[in-house]
Structure 1
């Protein structure tokens, strides 16, 4: 079997074993491609970074003492990317040309992996090697690097491309005795990610760097690529990949919905991010539709009992129809503007355009209809003159003033004028007293105040007799019959109980018969 046949059979066999998303062929002449190796991790597995402490407690790189800065427990790490290309002499005489990239291993560690791939080829000389390389990258990397259940990324968190490189030549390996060259294109071989995480370009598309059979003469292998521009973002990338993989696992497995009590595919369910509770899309959609139609946009909360998590706009847009989302978006904007003290709406019913008040918060100028109005009384702007009370609003303003704190009272006095507010308060208090202590004559509606005496009243204006208790007009010939009639609700109630003196006791009805 010649080399071409061996290469073709190897690729066909690997394509039957692995999915296209992890094993991708990007060219056939020569054969080149990539493998996305997701390393199997023990459980539990931790990622830690440390910082040195100086004598004054400040961070110091030279300090011998150190403390753990952050402690992450992960189930997944971003993949190690193997880019390969078959020379015409593979597998008879030459191993595949390759590049190896990773963002959570140092260049020294990636270099060790490159050397080990070479050693594995030497051990199986003249045989196809890709499956063995893949097996090593997935299952044996941690053991080979003496990483048990904890990965220390302290050195990587201090790394940056600009500080690492000192020359511009791709072939140069003199980089402070540690790194490769200053060409950032090599560091960015994997700058495009499938789903933000799976990275790589076609082998023929590399700029200034190609998969190589040889690693060069420097301390860092030319085929080792650190896919990290700034160590400060490493932890964020690890957390993002962890969340991405957990969601991928969730979507590809069956989940039980606690609303409809049915098993649904994870891809047909939605997770509330803040609480991680999930339900099928059909149940959430039905609930959201009812709430949005009724205008309860702040009630789009998690369906789990006593959970206060709220759905965000992205989640709502994914679940409901575009028409219903437009209503939700409009209501949300309207409610948000209402809660902003410097935002008002044009008081004209046919306009209602939102606008920004002036710096004093007193005047509003509608950009749509050009109406300039007072933000307090909503009437045409009247400058420093006090606002006029609208009909039917006096009681509302009085209640607000009486229940307000000192700052709000001062604001109302500024809006309507101090004298006007004083007069309003006095009038409302007078009206309240009159309402509580007087009644209207049932014949002429004159206001009658009762200070003492019996419940048989005589109107000062029309002379009619009426009952203070039930406001019924009484007979002019004998008004007291109303209190003698046993069928009357005011029977035997001519005098209030508090009016009767205990020292002057009379039998019921006795006074009426005198």
Structure 2
């Protein structure tokens, strides 16, 4: 075996050993393909060029792909035959890289050069091309615009061939023509941004899956592939602990409370995360209850009054008519009776109390007449709602965020809504800061300054505690 052949084999075996997942050796020739991710600085961003500038923080860009073939007289005489391709670079930038690879070969002629090339393409590309954060990306919106230059205008932040990229004149081109070894691996008519974001997300997940984490619940160290990470807070727990936690909460109907277990953390699991950890039946219950609770908080949603239906119905603005999409029942959204146009509601809210009193004090014959006139179910509902409304007016207040009725049994004036979990002041019904809800009562400019325990019978509470201790 010649010395060149031996050097080639040694270099290819070293590449296969070091870059096990990134390097693919060719079957029919001395060569192969290697994918190289450019090392990005912290807080690297991509900016979408358009009417409204949007920034995306990314940690990984799609790899540069180096395809090469080793001639018989490499490395003693000739350099490897190669091409460089990329999804996010312009042809001018890749042409500059090709010329730099030629220079590196000339500097190291007679020695194997692939590792020198790989190190340059992995670590020095951004500095060499003067690419800085944010990387400016153009989104192609028409066929005409897709014929203009390349995908990314990163060259506008200063590449060695930026005169070929800039738009000083429509017909001006770089004096140096594009290198034929520079290959665009993405159709110029395609939108580059989704490719960048999808690759970044996939690489982040790959790194997460291989990283060990200690679950704060079971205190066991596990790889990220068997863990769940809450998106907002980035707290990580093992999937077995979170599966049990989600199952208990969903069975109890607390679908709005699938929060991060970390104390005082308000991050919530996404529906996709829940679906990955519970079975189909439990997820169907979660999905149904989540939709129900979300609809209950929407002011423009009512429910079909037919007991056999109960479908959610969207209400048009400034309209009192609702039409059920399932049973086609047209009803008044105020009194829940059949739609009556501009006529007054048969049971206005202000007449519920008088109707209740009239029905409860009426004779059997009069009650029968009222039931025939309004319907027995409507009468019973009116009585129940009237009693409930009176009790709520006397004993409860509405959450200022979602409108849920809240009763204060004991404790201070900092309240937590049982439905939406927002904090609010019992005295002024103002929403409180989630991070520091008590600042409302400590601020001298607040109307409730020093009134955290206003109206609370502290002596009675102390007496109860002392009785329990005795």
Shorter-chain TM-score range? 0.5 to 0.7
Contact 1:342 1:361 (8 Å CA) reproduced? no
Instruction: Label 1:115 to 1:397 Cα distance change in 2 as closer, same or farther (>3 A).
Output: farther
**1:31 CA drift (Å):** 4.8
Instruction: Label 1:246 to 1:370 Cα distance change in 2 as closer, same or farther (>3 A).
Output: closer
What is the 5 A alignment of 1:434-453? Answer: none
**Partner residue in 2 for 1:137:** 121
**Partner residue in 1 for 2:27:** 28
Q: Does 1:303 align with 2:261?
A: yes
**1:23 CA drift (Å):** 1.0
Q: Unpaired segments of 5 or more residues in structure 1?
A: 52-68, 166-174, 180-216, 399-415, 417-423, 433-514
SS in 2 for 1:368: coil
| Residues paired across the two proteins, number | 334
**Partner residue in 2 for 1:99:** 83
SS in 2 for 1:250: helix
Q: What's the TM-score once normalised by structure 2's chain length?
A: 0.56
Q: Does 1:163 align with 2:148?
A: yes
SS in 1 for 2:66: strand
**Partner residue in 1 for 2:13:** 12
1:262-317 deviations in Å (ceiling 9; x for gaps): 21211211111112222221222222112211222111112111111222212221
Q: Unpaired segments of 5 or more residues in structure 2?
A: 151-160, 166-174, 357-373, 375-381, 391-470
What is the 5 A alignment of 1:95-134? Answer: 95-102=79-86, 107-125=91-109, 128-134=112-118
**1:255 CA drift (Å):** 0.8
**Partner residue in 1 for 2:270:** 312
Partners of 1:97 and 1:333 in 2: CA distance: 59
Partners of 2:125 and 2:341 in 1: CA distance: 78
SS in 1 for 2:132: strand
What is the 5 A alignment of 1:339-418? Answer: 339-357=297-315, 361-389=319-347, 394-395=352-353
What is the RMSD computed on CA atoms of the aligned residues? 4.8
Partners of 1:397 and 1:319 in 2: CA distance: 51
**Partner residue in 2 for 1:472:** none
**1:122 CA drift (Å):** 3.7
**1:84 CA drift (Å):** 2.2
Contact 1:36 1:80 (8 Å CA) reproduced? yes
Match of residue 151, structure 1, among 132, 136, 144: 132
**1:376 CA drift (Å):** 2.5
**1:347 CA drift (Å):** 2.0
**1:378 CA drift (Å):** 2.5
**Partner residue in 2 for 1:280:** 238
Contact 1:292 1:324 (8 Å CA) reproduced? yes
Partners of 2:304 and 2:139 in 1: CA distance: 55
Contact 1:106 1:156 (8 Å CA) reproduced? no
Partners of 2:256 and 2:231 in 1: CA distance: 17
Contact 1:87 1:94 (8 Å CA) reproduced? yes
1:313-369 deviations in Å (ceiling 9; x for gaps): 122212222221111111222233333444333222222233344665333333433
Contact 1:178 1:220 (8 Å CA) reproduced? no
Larger radius of gyration: 1
Partners of 2:8 and 2:96 in 1: CA distance: 26
**Partner residue in 1 for 2:37:** 38
Partners of 2:355 and 2:86 in 1: CA distance: 68
Partners of 1:336 and 1:324 in 2: CA distance: 18
1:373-424 deviations in Å (ceiling 9; x for gaps): 3322223334444333499x924999xxxxxxxxxxxxxxxxx9xxxxxxx9
Instruction: Label 1:345 to 1:32 Cα distance change in 2 as closer, same or farther (>3 A).
Output: farther
Q: What's the TM-score once normalised by structure 1's chain length?
A: 0.52
Partners of 1:112 and 1:397 in 2: CA distance: 86
Instruction: Label 1:29 to 1:5 Cα distance change in 2 as closer, same or farther (>3 A).
Output: farther
1:62-89 deviations in Å (ceiling 9; x for gaps): xxxxxxx999987655433212234566
